[in-house]
Structure 1
Amino acid sequence: MNQVDNKVKQSHDINTYTQDNSGNDMIDLLSLFSALWEKKKLITAVTFLFTLAGIIFSLFLPNIYQSTVLLAPTQDRTEISAMANQFGGLASLAGIKLGQQGDNTTDIAIASLKSREFINEFISQHHLLPELMALKKWNEKNNQLVFNSDIYDSKTNTWHGKQFYNESNKPTASDAYKAFSKILSIKTDKETGFISLSINLKSPYLAEKWATWLVEDINHWMKVRKIDSTKRNIKYLEEQLSKTSVTDMVTTFNKLIEQQTKQLMLAEAQNEYAFQTIDRADVPQEKVKPHRLLIVIASMFLGLILSCSFVWIRRVI
């Protein structure tokens, strides 16, 4: 009987404890809502101020426009690839690397697009430093670029940006590379193999122009390097050919020279060496950033949360 009585007592205690906790939770919630209701004017005022600050902040942010060009890797050449497979072993022994079907030309081109050397040369060749580092906004009415006068004087073409930490107050190659990397986006569709190259800038016309230039320059960049390397291969093979009189080796070297000559002719004839343009870049009509409505909503909720937290913490203290 004692055991039964103890179990009944324990069950009664647990129920009593649960009821007490439920009552305390209800009291806490009521106390919270009561405190918030008492300070509703303060909460409303703080939320309004944060919302207003979000609106003002979003309006001061410049519009960002995105121009995108759709690319496809240039198709491999079956005849040359077959010959490369046939003589690839001998070419490797001779120190020559032949192009093969499925080679990594596309991967090299994408890596080059992101490389420090290519980007810095691209910026220097097209004189993009002022627009990249000192552009403040784009005036839509007259299609004029407005530069940050604290960094760059477009009239005198002089730099005085002290944040660049050098004697000329001019952005360094490292500064330019970091800035350009932020506005460049390259995405590859794994299913189709298509490549999307995008440029995000404050001017839609600049975005379209830079995206177009990038495709032209990377094709030229890859073409020139292929021509140079192929010419070196041909010169080396011709030197080796002049040193041997073995019939089989003479035949092999002639075939390798023929293969390299075909690659050279093909590279010289192609303008779109690495990438073929499927859909050209155009001037974007709508901005992609900033998302002003989201900024305002986030500011409103931030003000609401902070004001409610302040009221509750003050009540608890």
Structure 2
Amino acid sequence: MTRYERIPEPSEARYQPDDEIDLRELFATLWAGKWIIILITILFAAAGVAYALCKPDIYQSNALLAPADGESGGRLGGQLGSLASLAGVNIGEDGSSNTVIAKEVLQSRAFLTEFIRRHELEAPVVATKAWNTRQSEWVYDREIYNPETGEWGTGENGDSLQPTNWDLVKTFKANHLSVSENKDNGMVTVSVKNLSPLAAKQWTEWLVKDINEHMRATDIEEAEASINYLKVKLDETKIAGMQQVFYQLIERETRTVMLANAQQEYVFKTVDPAVV
């Protein structure tokens, strides 16, 4: 007679852990450590409030701008348009494309570098740490810039801390300037953030004024160069029909120069000016 022995099951098979979470036990554990949880929450909340109070106030000034209307004169086509393109004269450009260019120029390295240098904003852009409201003056980081002597500090390696053009533009775009466009109506908003509410308003106004002046000067320079070129070609041709074409092109470029000099707000018209 054969005898069979029962083989015992492995302990892993016999053990069936309880995966269910006992909410009552969990709540009891949390309740036992309630004072630690409350204390940690209060400490972090107090630290957050203290950090926020220690940070200086940041003010923002906005200017709402409308694109200036493009020149609505008659379009010159056919042979006149071809000659205009050969002469470097763009007779089909409207205000919308000019506005797009102006918006990009406003954020360009070359324009912002000239803007900062012209208005002597190097120290206010990179070396300020607060704004004294009572005395209406900057509080500078003396390790970076000394306002009394106008001298820049030195780093650990003995290098001067005076910012380069790239440093100025990078800091200005990251901490101060913001340009946005409403795609529905084409309105452009120029915003400047600053420790000083007065500086935020002033810088915004300067930006709007300078971009209008920059685009005006560029268009006048291009128009005058085109006029000089057309006059040379006019003297070289003896064909009456071609002379008439050149006269019309010169007239158009002369009108461009006149309109540019006459308009105060050349590319952007201020709809809502910046305020403190």
TM-score range, shorter chain: 0.7 to 0.9
Q: May I ask how many residue pairs the two structures share in their alignment? A: 259
Contact 1:73–1:106, Cα closer than 8 Å, also in 2: yes
Residue 127 of structure 1 is matched in structure 2 by 120
Letter in 2 for 1:96: V
One of 46, 53, 56 as aligned partner of 2:47: 53
Residue 62 of structure 2 is matched in structure 1 by 68
Contact 2:65–2:269, Cα closer than 8 Å, also in 1: yes
Residue 237 of structure 1 is matched in structure 2 by 230
Q: Any unmatched runs of 5+ in structure 1? A: 1-19, 284-317
Q: CA deviation at 1:102?
A: 4.9
Q: Deviations over 1:46-76 (max 9, x none)?
A: 1111111111111111110010111111111
Q: Deviations over 1:193-219 (max 9, x none)?
A: 211111000100000000000011000
Contact 2:62–2:274, Cα closer than 8 Å, also in 1: yes
Distance in 2 (CA, whole Å) between partners of 1:67 and 1:194 is 16
Residue 169 of structure 1 is matched in structure 2 by 161
**Percent of aligned positions with the same letter in both sequences?**
38
TM score, norm. by length of structure 1:
0.77
Distance in 2 (CA, whole Å) between partners of 1:117 and 1:39 is 61
Residue 41 of structure 1 is matched in structure 2 by 35
**1:108 and 2:101 matched:** yes
For CA contacts below 8 A with separation 6 or more, give which structure has more relative contact order: 1
Instruction: Sort the Cα spacing of 1:128 and 1:32 in 2 relative to 1 into closer, same or farther, 3 A.
Output: same
Distance in 1 (CA, whole Å) between partners of 2:94 and 2:214 is 21
Distance in 2 (CA, whole Å) between partners of 1:60 and 1:224 is 45
The SS at the match of 1:156 is coil
Contact 1:186–1:198, Cα closer than 8 Å, also in 2: yes
One of 21, 26, 45 as aligned partner of 2:21: 26
Q: CA deviation at 1:89?
A: 2.6
Instruction: Sort the Cα spacing of 1:84 and 1:197 in 2 relative to 1 into closer, same or farther, 3 A.
Output: farther
The SS at the match of 2:62 is strand
Residue 299 of structure 1 is matched in structure 2 by none
Q: CA deviation at 1:161?
A: 5.3
Distance in 2 (CA, whole Å) between partners of 1:63 and 1:243 is 66
**1:216 and 2:203 matched:** no
Instruction: Sort the Cα spacing of 1:166 and 1:207 in 2 relative to 1 into closer, same or farther, 3 A.
Output: farther
Q: CA deviation at 1:103?
A: 4.9
Q: Deviations over 1:213-248 (max 9, x none)?
A: 001100000000111000000001111111111122
